[in-house]
Amino acid sequence: MRQIKKRNIRLKTDRFVIRTLRDTDASEVMASWLADADLMKNVNHKPQRMSLLQLRRYISSYDQATRLLVGVFDAASEKPVGYYFIDINPTQRRATFNVVIGDRDYWGKRTVLETRAALMDYMFQYCVVEKLIGGPLARNFPAVFNYKAQGWKLEGLMKSHVLSASGTGRIDQYQFAMLKEDWQAIKSAGMQQNGLIEKEATA
C-alpha cells in the first residue's frame, strides 16, 4: 500500500499565515474555541473543555497526511485566528474542507475567503486533488455565503442529513464543490485573490 506523505504546510496571504498545527500550538485560546458552543454548533461538534494536554493529543491525532489540521494566524501579530480541518481522499483525489474562525474579531472580514483561496491553491497544486467539497450546515448562513462568494457550486441540499451534535434532531446540510478546472477559470478571470505559497515541505 502506498504511503501518503505527511504535509508540512506553510502559506502566506496578505493578512494571514496558514500552517500545519503541531501539538506545541496547543493553547488556552484554541481550547476556548473547542469549548465554545456557538462556534462548535457551526461545525456540528459537541463543545468540549480540554486541558492543554488533551488538546495536544487532539492535535496529534491528525495524521497530517490525509487528515490535516491547519491553523490560521494573523500575519502581523501571529495570534491564532482559527483553523481548518481537511480530509483528503487520495483514491478519489478529493478533499473535504471545514473551517472554524475562532476569533470573532475576524468575522465578516473575508478571512475565510482569503485563507481558503490559499489552501485551495495548495490542494490543487501539491496534493493531487481534483475536487474540493464543503458541507456547511444549512443554517450556517455565513459559511453558505463564503462558499457562494468564492464561486463554489452548489451540488445539493441534503435534507435531515446529520444528527445535531446538540441533540436537537436531524439537520439539513448543503454540499458545495469546486473542481480544479473551475478554480483555475475563476482565478484566470481575476475573480479571486491568489494565495501565495511561501513554502511547502514534507515531513
- Tell me which residues touch another protein (CB under 8 A): 107-110, 112, 138-139, 141-146, 148-149, 151, 154, 157, 172, 174, 191
To the nearest whole angstrom, how small is the minimum distance from the Cβ of residue 173 to another protein?
Answer: 9
User: By C-beta, is 119 or 171 nearer to another protein?
Assistant: 171
To the nearest whole angstrom, how small is the minimum distance from the Cβ of residue 146 to another protein?
Answer: 6
Provide the grid cell at 178: 469546486
User: By C-beta, is 5 or 153 nearer to another protein?
Assistant: 153
To the nearest whole angstrom, how small is the minimum distance from the Cβ of residue 186 to another protein?
Answer: 10
Q: What angle do CA 132, 203, 7 make, to 5 degrees?
A: 10
Which DSSP letter does residue 65 get? S
Element (H, E) at 40: helix 37-42
Residue owning grid cell 501571529: 78
Q: What distance in Å separates the CA atoms of residue 98 and residue 116, rounded to the nearest whole number?
A: 10
Q: What angle do CA 72, 200, 64 make, to 5 degrees?
A: 65
To the nearest whole angstrom, how small is the minimum distance from the Cβ of residue 203 to another protein?
Answer: 33
Q: What distance in Å separates the CA atoms of residue 181 and residue 46, rounded to the nearest whole number?
A: 36
To the nearest whole angstrom, how small is the minimum distance from the Cβ of residue 9 to another protein?
Answer: 24
User: By C-beta, is 142 or 201 nearer to another protein?
Assistant: 142
User: By C-beta, is 90 or 151 nearer to another protein?
Assistant: 151
Q: What distance in Å separates the CA atoms of residue 97 and residue 54, rounded to the nearest whole number?
A: 24
User: By C-beta, is 172 or 198 nearer to another protein?
Assistant: 172
Which DSSP letter does residue 50 get? -
